[in-house]
A and B are shown apart, each in its own frame.
Chain A
């Protein structure tokens, strides 16, 4: 009996906008001038938010913070194709996703300053709180996908995670279940090349992370994660397939974390300056600016205007977050259970 091939697959890499700001028109998603401006403005706003968070941390006004610097295209590009009714399960590094979806910015600062009221998602949004244990949010997205499918709703679910997250059991268990039941879940991996200090190659011996989808029986694709058009297109297509009942997709956004892992980390211990310098010209905002400039929709006065606007929005968010009345010690008891237990009532009396 001759051997025969029983399964094979190809893993594609999608990029549309190159480092010089030139787009491949044949692949370009349909976006109006104002859509493109919105992409740009949200990336700038997220970056200003991020820079401010870093400085607030240094001033001791918020706690440890995980920066998104360099990952704006992956976050904004993916979140822009989401609808408010879609259900989002972020990791701890998705500030750009929250901002794009319209999560009140002051609540993000509130959370990072150590007040969990910042994670009470507004009723008109379906974005889950930050998830600190790596990868554990992935099965939650899968379960939400099961709920969507059961109710025959026309919504999609996304789970965000990093390259480190793909090594966890929950990643594999989650993708496996999503594949078996063909759930409307889009798995968005931001491969920012490291999990704290551990490089991507140490997470997995497979050549791409996208290819892992094929072991679970669905489509995976790698995209240039610093190219907002590519991210937007891949995620939009996947979301449409999900909403139509065509099952899950894994999207690997190939990107780079420019800053330290968190404000408690010093990346110079494990990566050279050279490496970071090589990634800087790939900056997603810079790249889109070149594109817009060539199209005549970017000018210095426009740039100035959106920078100022972003700063105003961020200033306001900081001041709102800092003017919120402090939590009362008894607040820590309130949401452990639906109702306070007798023991909790006694304990509250001790405060």
Chain B
């Protein structure tokens, strides 16, 4: 089995799926000749040609809107938004249309688009290049929000997202793109959407995270008998896996990179209180980015949850 980083794992998923299904079209800014600014789409235009790997004008709303029009007429567009900080011009299309078409036509038209975008801090990028605003998309019914945390699950989740019949916002942590390699099988395997994964079993505390923060979480809980849950799909949320773990451990820490206020951690925390309150031995603690504009590189390490902050939160809930 080849060892892949997240970039090559996603590239492999795209390549294999495009070879399988000629209705899959990749489009976005610089995705063709240049292979994408993170090289995710490298080699695709050589293999599949410019009719299937389309360099578009710089036009986020236009790209997503056109992707929607393709999707409703049976193609499978995978559009790349170059950075999450530039998805906002397309939010109107995503919110007003992608997530609603199935409902508003009572199923006559559907919108199976995949919107891929790099997200998050940690690569010393310029202003607006490190956003982690996944909660915006989680709030909108009709959309699925998927956040892989490793090369292996990036490939499996992307294939599932491509084959899904609903619109998927697929968020790829820039920090994880080249952080590490792991074995990623060639050929088809899928990881189901809407399922969280117990990434590490444990008895004392449940630590819930996704995407880039998972790795800091692992490092932080090395010496603790913690159960670590990787949500992988944020919406629709796999509550069952979460509650099962909470019932076992009685303690919860939620770790995410996004700002705290209205972050997705709030949703997870509230859901746990509603459903498994009587199993809780301690208050639920969130360890998150701060409620500030994502700082420029000099301060980004201070912004993001650190091992130390995660450790402290775990120690805090263990006091009860």
**Chain A residues engaging chain B, CB cutoff 8 angstroms:** 87, 89, 116-117, 119-121, 123, 128-129, 133, 136, 138-148, 150, 169-170, 173-174, 176-177, 180, 334-338, 341-343
Contact = CB atoms under 8 A, between A and B. Distances in A.
B139 to A, nearest CB: 13
Interface of B: 25, 51-52, 54, 56-57, 59, 61-75, 77, 89, 92-93, 96-97, 101-110, 141-142, 144, 164-166, 194, 236-237, 239-240
Nearest to B113: A143
Given A143-B71, A174-B62, A336-B141, A129 B236 contact: no
Given A139-B66, A150-B25, A119 B104 contact: yes
A173 B109 contact: no
B70 A147 contact: yes
Which applies to chain A's interface (DSSP): helix, strand, loop or mixed? helix
Nearest to B167: A337
Contact of A143 (B77, B89, B144, B164): B77
| Across the A-B interface, the 8 shortest Cβ-Cβ residue pairs | A143-B69, A139-B65, A173-B62, A143-B66, A341-B236, A140-B69, A120-B106, A144-B69
Contact of A139 (B52, B61, B103, B236): B61
Nearest to A144: B69
A150 B51 contact: yes
A257 to B, nearest CB: 24
B69 A145 contact: yes
B30 to A, nearest CB: 15
Given A139-B66, A141-B69, 7 more contacts: A133-B96, A142-B69, A146-B70, A176-B57, A335-B107, A338-B102, A342-B240
Contact of A337 (B54, B57, B102): B102
Nearest to A150: B51
B65 A342 contact: no
B8 to A, nearest CB: 27
Contacts of A87: 73
Nearest to B237: A343
B106 A174 contact: no
Contacts of A136: 65, 92-93, 96-97
B236 A337 contact: yes
B72 A144 contact: yes
A128 B61 CA distance: 19
B113 to A, nearest CB: 9
Nearest to B166: A337
12 contacts: A129-B104, A140-B68, A142-B62, A144-B72, A144-B73, A146-B70, A174-B62, A177-B63, A337-B166, A338-B110, A341-B194, A343-B237
Contacts of B106: 116-117, 119-120, 334-335
Contact of B105 (A129, A148, A336): A129
A180 B93 CA distance: 21
Which of B69, B77, B141, B240 is packed against the most chain A CB atoms within 10 Å? B69
Contact of A177 (B56, B107, B144, B164): B56
Contacts of B142: 336-337
A117 B108 CA distance: 10
B230 to A, nearest CB: 18
B92 A133 contact: yes
Contacts of A123: 108
Given A173-B61, A177-B57, A343-B239, A121 B102 contact: no
Contacts of B101: 129
A129 B101 CA distance: 9
Q: Which of A174, A177, A334 has the most B CB atoms < 10 Å from its CB? A: A177
Contacts of A141: 69
A216 to B, nearest CB: 10
B104 A176 contact: no
A119 B66 CA distance: 21
A343 B194 CA distance: 11
Nearest to B60: A173
A39 B317 CA distance: 75
B80 to A, nearest CB: 15
Contact of A174 (B65, B104, B110, B194): B65
A169 B240 contact: no
A89 B96 CA distance: 15
A138 B108 contact: no
B74 A147 contact: yes
A129 B65 CA distance: 15
Contacts of B73: 87, 143-144, 147-148
B59 A338 contact: no
Contacts of B51: 150
